[in-house]
Amino acid sequence: MTAPRSLAVILLVTGVALSGCSASTGRPGDSSRGPRSAGAHFRLFDNTYYRDSDLSACRTSTSYTVYESRVMALTGQTSAKQELALPDRAAYQSMLRRAVDRGGPVILDFETLYLKGARHVAERRYDKLKRFLTWTRQVFPNRIVGVYGVLGNTDPAHRDLAKALAPLQDAFFPTLYTTRSSFTAWRAHLDSVRAEAQRVDPAKRIYPFIWPQFHAAASPTKALLPRAMWRSEVEAVAQTMDGAVVWSGARNAGSSTWARDTCAVMSTTA
């Protein structure tokens, strides 16, 4: 996903505070809790940057997403395709303290560190993610912390690494962007993500990223989804997940119906 520099905004669809902690550890979203029943305490996270429509009809709070570009500025890397290097811990934590100035979850979007490829590569990336999560937790001990996209972008041979990484995260943030024009295909992807989450950590909350537009793989122009398809996606996520992150790049949506439909669905989940 493209890395906008502004803060992510979160919609809390229920009255449950985002900073609520588990009784067992005092950490938010701890994996020791039991699985959520569908539709209970659903949270919608707004990470859109549209200029012509928004989700202001729903109640909002804030979060922060740490993109690779922020860390690259610390390491001197210039290529976004190069595997992210580890910065100095103090410099990384200082950056977090300066940049993350609002409440809510802290999501690490480090896509060059997905657990893929040869074993030694996956192990190296796992070690980096472990350090990043540990460093982030030291700065924000009471915040929800997780990694974008690792769930769903881990080779099966490296699932043990994903399992080892799970205790350092309070929630999973996979992607459920629409890469094909078929809702059936999209729903199959949702079911695949849920199944993988069960294999990695069945008690972990899941907040998938969804997008009102087609991914470039399905539409070179990234056209807005048909209204019925978008509503079906939001309804499916509301019925099966703990929440979702609605994402967009910084461009016009061309219509505000997606926002109205989203909030309409959310009003039925409380």
pLDDT at position 61, please?
A: 63
**Contact call for residues 14 and 41 (beta carbons, < 8 A):** yes
Residue 102: per-residue pLDDT: 66
Would residue 157 count as lying in a domain?
yes
Domain count, the chain: 1
For residue 65, being part of any structural domain is answered with yes
pTM as predicted: 0.84
**Residue among 10, 8, 91 nearest 49 (CA):** 8
How do beta strands 243-247 and 209-210 pair?
parallel
What CATH number is given to the structural domain containing 60?
3.20.20
Predicted confidence (pLDDT) at residue 168 exceeds the cutoff of 80 = yes
Alpha-carbon separation of residue 210 from 70, 93, 197, 245 (angstroms)? 23, 29, 17, 6
Q: Is residue 3 part of a domain?
A: no
pLDDT tens for 64-123 read 889 999 999 999 999 999 999 999 999 999 999 998 866 678 899 999 999 999 999 999
Q: How confident is the model at residue 24 (pLDDT cuts 50, 70, 90)?
A: very low
Range of the domain at 220: 8-266
- DSSP state for residue 21 in the 8-state scheme: B
Strands 43-47 and 243-247: parallel
